């Protein structure tokens, strides 16, 4: 299996784990916090979503650009994509709550 395929499969797994844990933690803990408000300005959601999309897209571009790099060499890029996916998940959940 090529390094690019290994990295993309690892990244996909990491993203799915990040989305699952983010969704699980956000959905279970939002009911236990009293006074929690999602009334922040809409621009904050747009900026956070844009930043997270940048992390995901830039990480994917760098992984493809360095397709011959080993999985360990691509680890920070995979983590960057997973963090972006987690941020997107949080703000989609907040948008649905509004």
Over the chain (98 residues), the average pLDDT of each successive run of 10 is 89 96 85 59 84 96 92 93 94 74
All residues at 6 or more sequence positions from 10 whose CB lies less than 8 Å from its CB, including other chains: 71, 74, 78
Q: What is the pLDDT of residue 92?
A: 84
pLDDT value of position 1: 65
What does the pLDDT read at residue 29?
76
What is the count of structural domains for the chain? 1
**Quick one: which H or E segment has residue 75?**
helix 75-97
- Spell 27-58 as b/e; 16+ CB within 10 A means b: eeeeeeeeeeeeeeeeeebeebbeebeebbee
Question: For residue 75, what are the domain limits?
Answer: 3-97
pLDDT at position 90: 87
């Amino acid at each position: 299996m090529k390094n690019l395929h290994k990295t993309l499969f690892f990244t996909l797994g990491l993203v799915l784990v990040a989305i699952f844990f983010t969704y699980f933690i956000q959905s279970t803990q939002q009911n236990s916090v009293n006074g929690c408000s999602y009334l922040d300005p809409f621009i904050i959601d747009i900026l956070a979503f844009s930043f997270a999309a940048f992390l995901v897209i830039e990480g994917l571009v760098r992984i493809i650009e360095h397709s011959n790099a080993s999985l360990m060499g691509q680890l920070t890029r995979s983590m960057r994509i997973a963090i972006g996916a987690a941020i997107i998940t949080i703000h989609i959940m907040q948008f649905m709550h509004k």
